[in-house]
Amino acid sequence: MRAHHLLCLDQFRGLGYSPFFVANLARVQRMLAEPGAVVRLTAGPDAICAACPFLDGAACRRGADAADRDRLVLSRLGLTPNTRLSWAGLKELFEAALPPAARPAVCAGCTWLTAGVCYR
């Protein structure tokens, strides 16, 4: 999972780029809710990206924006790409490292934030 997708999953409320994207993100949420779910943090496209209109083959057309946001989240979590941990443990770490009041600043410039898709 891309590190910045922790922010997206935290705020997901059934909106997104397309019905296909929304269904895929909901499917990922259900998988993560399974007991014992494990996540590997990535530095590139993941299962969420698979339904994103900005995915171009194996690369994100958002390029540096997504990668910079990933690096920022990883830094705040004290983790590196390819780290594997339980979803429950990652959520706990995320909550401690990025409390709700800090999240909009990390998302600054994201099209979802400016479109009002998240941060209710």
Domain boundaries, the chain: 5-115
Pick the residue with more confidence: 70 or 114? 70
Res 80: pLDDT: 96
Q: Which of 27, 42, 26 is nearest to 90 (CA)?
A: 42
Per-residue pLDDT tens over the stretch 10-29: 888 888 888 998 999 999 99
Q: What type of residue is 109? A: G
Per-residue pLDDT tens over the stretch 42-90: 988 899 989 988 788 777 777 678 889 899 999 999 999 999 999 999 9
Q: How far is Cα 68 from Cα 30, in angstroms, rounded to an integer?
A: 27
The answer to whether the beta carbons of residues 120 and 11 sit under 8 Å apart is yes
The answer to whether the beta carbons of residues 20 and 53 sit under 8 Å apart is no
Res 44: pLDDT: 85
Per-residue pLDDT tens over the stretch 34-49: 999 999 999 888 999 8
Banded pLDDT at 120 (limits 50, 70, 90): low
Per-residue b/e over 18-50, b at no fewer than 16 CB within 10 Å? eeebbebbeebeeebeeeeeebebbeebbebbe
Q: Which two structure tokens, joined as six digits, stand for 105?
A: 């600043």
